Amino acid sequence: MNKKQEQTLADFGLTKEDIELSPFDVADYLTTDEDIRLFLEAAAEEGTEEEFAHALQTAARAKGINQIVKECGLTREKLTHPGRFMAEIKEAFKLNVCKETSPQLA
C-alpha cells in the first residue's frame, strides 16, 4: 500500500489493518450465459491467444467445465490446456458450436 492509499484510509479514520481484502476472481461475476459470451467475445477480439485461453479457463470455472465441455464438444484437456488446441477451440466458437456461451469470432 502506498502513502496516498494510506492517507485516503486515514481520511476515513482507518488503517490498512482495518481493511480486509479478498482475492478478485472474475468468474464470480460471470453469472449468466450472456455474461460469459460477452466476456469471451471481448477476450477473443481484444486479447492475445494466451489471454483468450485464460478467459476460456475462467468461463469454465464460472459455468462449470463439464457444462462447457458438453456444450462445445471439446475435451476437458483442450479446455484446461488450451494453448496447444487454440485453433480447434476458436473454430468451435466460430461455428457457434458452443450455443449460448459462444462468442462471434472473426
Report pLDDT digits (tens) over 38-71: 898 888 888 888 888 888 888 888 888 777 777 7
List the beta strands (DSSP E) in 1-106.
none
Are the CB atoms for 73 and 99 separated by under 8 Å?
Answer: no
Residue with cell 458438453: 70
Residue 29 DSSP label = G
Please report which confidence band the pLDDT of residue 106 belongs to, taking 50, 70 and 90 as the band edges. very low
Are the CB atoms for 40 and 70 separated by under 8 Å?
Answer: no
1 vs 11, more confident: 11
Length of the chain equals 106
